[in-house]
Amino acid sequence: MANFIDDANKKALEIMQNAQPTLVGMGVAKDVVPGMHKKLIMHAGPPITWEKMSGPLRGAVIGGLIYEGLAANPEEAEKLAASGEIEFDPCHHHQAVGPMAGVVTASMPVFIIENKAYGNFAYCTMNEGLGNVLRFGAYGEDVIKHLKWMEKTLYPVMKQTLEIYGPVDLKSMIAQAAQMGDEVHNRNKAATSLFIREIASSLVKTDASKEDQVAVFNFLNSNDHFFLNLSMPAAKSAMEPVGKVKHSTVVYTMARNGTEFGIRVAALGDRWFTGPAAIIDGLYFPGYSMDDANPDIGDSCITETYGIGGFAMATAPAIVQFVGGTPQDAVNYTTSMYEITLEESTAYKMPTMNFRGTPTGIDIRLVVETQILPVINTGIASKHAGVGQVGAGIVNPPMKCFTDALEAYVELLESEGMLG
């Protein structure tokens, strides 16, 4: 029996290993993201209703409605969000991903990533930087003003820069960054630097005024997380075709909406398996503690699904200063992930592990059998709308996601007469 499962998983891993995520340009969400419309708000994680949304996701929805001009103030936005007039849908249902709250609205500029090996696309907004930002649920005037600057100044400059430069090979950039101390989830210092270096001469060739060019350079330079919004859709574009592999037990989506954690498994298509999102153990900013934290939120664990992020922490020992623990802990996290994955990455190698490839291809059978859960490093949002980030740390999905998925997988095989 196991042969057809092994064959399916071999095919899934081949798709992951062969992926060629490439940044091919930019566009406005309503023009390029499949199914996007003025009254749709896309969010991180599995599906959720307004009633069940946590503080930061509600805050980001409020900010998104004000940004779109659909509401004049937070009160109006809340009323509209609860009215049933606004459609809420996961980014993942629209070939997109969003960090933390992950809110994407019609007017937001997005990166367009093409997986050149399979011809599928993925989309993600630009990273806003740290501090008081929409993705952590903040929606004050300064947040909206910054989003408008990103739309009116940053986006036209970046769009033209990429038109001049041409396609950017994100796979080789991530591979280089992984040898420079990044795991490209919570540490993107090297990748962001490589990206700026790569596009710099094209940026100065744009029609933008010198003042705008300087403002864009300053913003990119001050935002170590800028590349996160490229590593995420790169991982999404690599994982999306895996979701079509029949009988494969490989996880092709992990995502959180701040209330629930959800996974999707190749053999089981678009079906979500969810459990309660956990509170994150980590380092909190001064004045904050676990009592202030919202449960786990964001699509950024698509990086771990792809075998980078927390799975590659051994290559990013400095990350422990941000998420807690010691460099040895980082190595231990990575080492334990080989227990639940099927292969090692052929592209992403870790110098600290004697250039071993990162653990790639989470198998639900191995997770349930070993009782080892995927390790994710992540930012921590305040549970109160409008506050923003309060720390960063390490978190795991609930085991329930994997046991439920494995049960459903067995049921599927039984219904197909594959277990006889």
281 vs 378: CA distance, rounded Å: 10
CATH 3.90.1700.10 for domain 242-415, yes or no, is yes
Beta bridge partners, 338, equal: none
Computed on alpha carbons and rounded to an integer, the radius of gyration of the chain in Å comes to 20
Please report, in tens digits, the pLDDT of each residue of the chain (420 residues total).
579 999 999 999 999 999 999 999 999 999 999 999 999 999 999 999 999 999 999 999 999 999 999 999 999 999 999 999 999 999 999 999 999 999 999 999 999 999 999 999 999 999 999 888 999 999 999 999 999 999 999 999 999 999 999 999 999 999 999 999 999 999 999 999 999 999 999 999 999 999 999 999 999 999 999 999 999 999 999 999 999 999 999 999 999 999 999 999 999 999 999 999 999 989 999 999 999 999 999 999 999 999 999 999 999 999 988 888 899 999 999 999 999 999 999 999 999 999 999 999 999 999 999 999 999 999 999 998 878 889 999 999 999 999 999 999 999 999 999 886
Global pTM?
A: 0.97
Contact 231, 170 (CB under 8 A): yes
Nearest CA to 103 out of 124, 129, 75, 73 is that of 124
* Exposure b/e, 349-362, CB count within 10 A at least 16 = b: bbebbeebbbbbbb
For the chain, the farthest-separated pair of C-alpha atoms sits apart, in whole angstroms, at 70
Contact 275, 42 (CB under 8 A): no
Integer CA distances (angstroms), 305 to 90, 134, 231, 281, in order: 17, 24, 12, 20
- Residue ranges covered by each domain of the chain: 21-232, 242-415
Q: Which CATH fold would you assign to the domain 21-232? A: Enterococcus faecalis V583 fold (3.90.1710)
| Strand duo 376-381 + 389-395: pairing | antiparallel
Residue 298: strand, helix, or coil = strand
294 vs 385: CA distance, rounded Å: 10
305 vs 314: CA distance, rounded Å: 16
Residue pLDDT, tens place only, 305-359: 999 999 999 999 999 888 888 999 999 999 999 999 999 999 999 999 999 999 9
* Exposure b/e, 11-49, CB count within 10 A at least 16 = b: bbbebbbebbbbbebbebbeebbeebeeebbbbbbbbbe
